[in-house]
Amino acid sequence: MSKFQELVIKNGREISLATGDHAFMQGDTDSNVYFVKSGLLKAYYIRVDGKEHIKSFLAEGSIIGSMAALVDGDPCTFSLVASEPTVAIALPYKVLADAAQTDIALANALVGFLSAYGKRKEEREYQLLSLSAEGRYEVMLKATPGIADRVSQSDLAAYIGITPQALSRIKRRMRK
């Protein structure tokens, strides 16, 4: 077991979320990093028009936290909800950051987390700004096999940035 895993187990708090339960909501302050042990989380934004825009789906082994809340204590810019029954470990970011100050292995783990997070953000930005809806759908299917079987058509459409009807048309074209 790595020092990072030991830190998470020793200092984290296991939480169980039923489908629809939130770990945090947009506007909350939550300084935890969440490690998904089982289940599926959905990170989403509520737009000004009240519609939901899905940032990401987080399956087993994923890590997430609101960087705005973690780094500066600002309100979370997105909400985190269970798309299916989920068990996660909530670890205060301060515990991780403080431990990383004196332990090179933990510092490297933190750098790895932040690097992976930044890379995912850049890739998602590229997809939204440079790819067609069909291209975004194909990338999602390739990057997260099986996700289409775990989430609703409306959630898939919200992730891609289109209507459920437009997603149906894309799926029909791809089957031909």
Closest CA to 37 of 66, 10, 58: 58
Q: Where would I find the H helices in 81-160?
A: 93-100, 104-130, 133-143, 153-160
pTM (2 d.p.):
0.90
pLDDT of residue 114: 87
Amino acid letter at 48? V
Please tell me what DSSP assigns to residue 131.
Answer: S
Structure-block tokens of residue 98: 């403080």
Supply the pLDDT for residue 145: 86
Q: What is the pLDDT of residue 1?
A: 64
Fold of 3-106: Jelly Rolls (2.60.120)
Query: What are the residue ranges in the chain where pLDDT is below 50?
Result: none
Which of 3, 1, 155, 21 shows the shortest CA–CA distance to 88?
21
Cβ atoms of 37 and 14 closer than 8 Å:
yes
Phi, psi of 71 (to 5 degrees): -80, -45
Instruction: Tell me if 14 sits within 8 A of 87, measured CB to CB.
Output: yes
Q: What SS3 state is found at 67?
A: helix
